[in-house]
Amino acid sequence: MERFKTLESVAVGRRNNYDIMRFIAAILVIYDHSYPLGAGIGGGDAIAVLTHGKWNSGALGVAIFFIISGFLITQSYERSKNIFIFAKARFLRIYPALIVAILLSAFVLGTLVTSLPTGEYLTNSQTYQYVKALLLYPMQWNLPGVFEGNVYKNSVNGSLWTIPFEVLCYGIVAIAGILGMLRYKTFMVVLFSLTLFVYFFYDQIWPFGKQIFGLQVIDLCQLFCYFSAGMMMYIFRAYIPMNKYFAMFCVVILYLAANYGGLKEFFIIFGSYLTLYVAYITIWKFAEFSRLGDFSYGMYIYAFPVQQAVTYYHGGSMSAPLNFLYSFFITLLLSVLSWHLIEKRALALKKQRFVPEAFVPGVFVTTWTNIARGYAYVLDKLAGIRWWQFAAVFVLLVIAAHFYNEKPAIVTFPYTKSESIFSGGWHPQSPDEAYRWINTSASVQLSKPADAHNVIVEGFVPEAFKEIHHVRLLLNNKQVAEQDISAGQSLQLQAPVHDNLSSYTITIMFDGAHQPGAQDADQRVMSALVSRIAFH
């Protein structure tokens, strides 16, 4: 008898604790949301208290979801006969219940609680903008006149923010599988390492925009860290021992991280191991729970609007425990109905063949096969790279990175080089706008030419921004200029530079910020737009 079982040896069959673990993860999210949605406060949940505010129950629940998903989705791809079967399975798991949840929120819940007349609500363009969240990119959170009096105003289903990231992770698995990378453990280690590196040093190294498909890149990095950790656990399952000593060690590490910092980061590795250990240990077997159904997805997508509705019918605010208690039972009922009436029936369609194989053109199959073989050939060559080849490529990379990250003397927008020079309240820039929005305070690092003697900042404060009255300009945290400014006025700050430093941190600070109204399409908090920053 082997002393320690491997993850591969225990991850067989359907007897595991995944369903109840995801159910508990969904409960953690509901519990965490009960504080801001019910009482209008954040950080009051037990996990936030135990970790001294370093994490919360909702973030823990989401991390568990993504770790489990990374393991099971990679397994699903490997067991699928082709990419079409994989994509169909993922679509049927996500979309049917999501469609119903969004439509019910918009046309049932919305009509019941909106402050607008029903006819006006149903003809309001914002109602149908919300329904467009079915496309996932971008998501929409608000319905006209809905939950305006709640302590957590307007947002109808904020929990859906993770769904687009989940779908992107599915896409990454599919691409990695198509390219043959899932068969090369070395490349998966490189992908995982790069993901960790970008997440840890995002502000310093990320050279592109801060959004992709309307989603924050930093959020994608964080969630994909958990997801890819699950992927790695599956890919290396034959080498990962499953024993109580490693699990105990993980508990100790996470306890120390909760007290001294780095909990989110340590959870990527140690939390992933612990999650998979709990999923397959034999002393706590809750496999019978699966016979009742998989209610976690329904719990997740229905809870937020239910919690908002409970608060609404309680006068707009209530205690967090009471919100959690009422919302849990209502959401549980909805999730049971969702499972039996929608999700279970949709998943049964996975075995149905919608398009006969004969309908798939042979030339398409041949082309697809040739592409896959080509990628496999390239990966084989990369796997055999020699040190001198690596050194040559690395030197070229270092040279390119040096020029790419070089601080400019002038910044205009859109700025297409490294984002590492920007810090503070810069909003994501648009590729087709000759300016960039900032919130209250924002900084940029520029190099100063030897013949430059002044610094200048140009921009504009829109007419609607009545909250803005004054702006200051700082060089290396020392004020060098200030200006009284009114809404609708151009921003023109200029100051002499007396020091002979090669680079400076230029900071723009406003005395206020514009708070968008509930009906505004752009819900960002902003102070002004900046078009040019330069030494001259």
229 — pLDDT class (breaks 50, 70, 90): very high
Cα distance between residue 392 and residue 380, in whole Å: 19
The residue with greater pLDDT, 37 or 370, is: 37
Cβ atoms of 465 and 535 closer than 8 Å: no
What domains can be seen in the chain, in order of their start residue?
A: 21-239+281-351 (no CATH), 362-405 (no CATH), 410-535 (2.60.120.260)
Global pTM reads 0.71
**What is the SS3 assignment for 240?**
coil
Is residue 210 very low, low, confident or very high in pLDDT (cuts 50, 70, 90)? low
| Position 422 pLDDT exceeds 60 | yes
42 pLDDT higher than 80: no
pLDDT at 192: 87
Structure tokens at 257: 């991280």
For residue 362, is pLDDT > 60? no
pLDDT band at residue 344, thresholds of 50, 70 and 90?
A: confident
Position 236 pLDDT exceeds 60: yes
What is the spatial distance between Cα 436 and Cα 278, in angstroms, rounded to a whole number?
Answer: 47
Judged against a pLDDT cut of 60, whether residue 41 lies above it is answered with yes
Answer yes or no: is pLDDT of 237 > 80.
yes
Q: Are 330 and 310 in contact (CB under 8 A)?
A: yes
Across the chain, mean pLDDT equals 82
Q: With 60 as the cut, is the pLDDT of residue 358 above it?
A: no
Alpha carbon distance 79, 72 (integer Å)? 10
**Taking 60 as the threshold, does the pLDDT of residue 28 lie above it?**
yes
β-bridge pairing 490-496 and 454-460: antiparallel
Find out whether the peptide bond into 138 is cis, omega within 30 degrees of 0.
yes
* Chain position carrying tokens 């020699």: 386
Least confident of 14-18, 118-122, 304-308: 14-18
Residue 285 has which token pair? 């077997």
For residue 319, give the amino acid letter. Answer: S
pLDDT of residue 366: 54
- 3-state secondary structure at position 92: helix
Tokens 């920053």: give the residue. Answer: 533
**pLDDT single digits (tens) 4-19:** 688 878 877 777 888 8
271 DSSP 8-state letter: I
**H helix count then E strand count, the chain:** 20, 13
- Statement: residue 228 has pLDDT above 80: yes
Q: What is the pLDDT of residues 79-117, one digit of tens each?
A: 887 788 888 888 888 889 999 998 998 889 888 888 888
Q: Which residues of 177-209 are buried (b: 16+ CB within 10 A; e: fewer)?
A: bbbbbbebeebbeebbeebbebbeebeeebeee
The string of DSSP codes covering 430-443 is PTT-SSEEEEEEEE
Structure tokens at 492: 């023109």
Higher pLDDT, 172 or 368: 172
End-to-end CA, the chain: 76
What pLDDT is stored for residue 1 in this prediction? 40
Higher pLDDT, 305 or 353: 305
Buried b (16+ CB within 10 A) or exposed e, 102-140: beebbeebbeebbebeeeebbebebbebbbebeebeebb
pLDDT tens profile 387-410? 777 788 778 877 776 666 678 888
Can you name the residues that pair with 493 across neighbouring β-strands? 457
427-480 pLDDT, tens per residue? 877 767 888 889 888 888 888 888 888 889 999 988 888 888 999 998 888 888
pLDDT reported for residue 148: 82
Give yes or no for residue 499 having a pLDDT over 50. yes
Closest CA to 457 of 434, 479, 481: 481
SS3 445: strand
Residue with tokens 């921003």: 491
Mean pLDDT of 197-218: 69
pLDDT category at 355 given cuts 50, 70, 90 is low
For range 62-73, the mean pLDDT:
93
The pLDDT of residue 332 is 93
